[in-house]
Each structure stands twice: as structure tokens, then as C-alpha cells.
Amino acid sequence: MRKHNGMRPQDVAILLKIVSLPEKNWRLLDIAASLNVSLSEVSESLNRSRAAGLIDDSKKKVFSENLLEFLQYGFKYVFPQQPGTLVRGIPAAHSHPSMKKFIRSEIEYVWADHRGKTVGLGIEPLYSKQTDHIEKYPEFYEMLALADVLRVGRIREKEIAVNQLQKILFKHEPPS
């Protein structure tokens, strides 16, 4: 078994993608294609997530409680982020449409992307191709944005993001 050298930002994206899948009999190829990453990146990511206790030994079931705890308490320390300069991009963090119901802000946060129509402070995505397919996967996009709230948000915004993430993560949990 390979040594665990710590989590990488794309590991969080891969776990959130798995949670968002309606079909639980997915293949590595499905994840790789939907995220536009290589099979080996997905495989290595799942190994790191298993070693971190975020996914089971079969690498099919995400431990939602552990993932939420990591996102809530460790994410901002492991993958810190400070909003950058004004750029055109895709709404992120509290600028995501689902957060607009709760938060009013004159400052928009975005993931830089030439296809975006929003101008705001840039936030570095978890992986380089993050914005390529999010329009096809609205729940995945929402979870990524909520995770970014936990990296860059204020206390009230973070509380809302945790509540929203809880609803999504545990909606996908099979009944015990």
C-alpha cells in the first residue's frame, strides 16, 4: 500500500462528486469523465480518502459525517483561500444562486472562467478543470460552492453552508 502523503484539493471534489451521483454503482471511469480528470488521479484520490477515513474500504461509500466534519473544521486550514482580484467567472461561495436566498452581498465571488458572466473576486477552484462541466451537474456545483463558503466565508455564511451541506450529504445516505 502506498504511503498517505495528505489530501489534495481535488480529493474533496471527487468525494462530493460521488455523493452527488444518483446511481451508486458508478465506475472510476464515470468519475474521471464527469470531472475531466484521469483515471489514475481518481484512483489515487480514493486511496488518500480511504486512508483519511472519508470513504469505505470498497471506495464506494463516502462517510458523510466524516466528510462534513472535515469540511466544517479542517478544510479552510488544509486548503486556505483568500479571494483575489476582480475577474469574470462562474459564481462561487456565497455568490452561488442557492446561497443568494440567505445572503445579500455586493461583493461577488467567482471561479475564473471565460464562459462566466459574473464579475467578482476570484477564488481558486479545487482543481484546474472544475468549471468545465458544472452546468451539467447542478447539485455537484452547489456542493463545491458551499465548500468554498467554508474556506472564505464569515461565521453566519459558514453556518448556512454547513446546514445546506448537511441536507445534501445526508439526503444521499441510505437508510440504516
pLDDT in tens, 157-170: 999 999 999 999 99
- In this predicted structure, what is the pLDDT of residue 142? 97
pLDDT in tens, 36-87: 999 999 999 999 999 999 999 999 999 999 999 999 999 999 999 999 999 9
Contacts 24+ apart (CB under 8 A), 4-7: 4/47, 4/48, 4/51, 4/52, 5/48, 6/48, 6/78, 7/48, 7/49, 7/52, 7/78
Average pLDDT over residues 98-115: 94
Q: Scan for cell 465506475, then name that residue.
A: 27
Best CA proximity match to 107, nearest among 87, 124, 127, 126: 87
- In this predicted structure, what is the pLDDT of residue 5? 72
- In this predicted structure, what is the pLDDT of residue 174? 56
- Percentage of the chain lying above the pLDDT 70 cut: 95
Average pLDDT over residues 115-127: 95
Q: How high does pLDDT run on average in the chain? A: 92
pTM beyond 0.85, yes or no: yes
Q: Which CATH class is domain 9-76?
A: mainly alpha
Q: Are 53 and 62 in contact (CB under 8 A)?
A: no
Average pLDDT over residues 91-114: 94
pLDDT in tens, 2-11: 566 789 999 9
- pLDDT bracket for residue 133 (50, 70, 90): confident
List every span in the chain annotated with CATH 1.10.10.
9-76
Average pLDDT over residues 20-24: 84
- In this predicted structure, what is the pLDDT of residue 4? 61
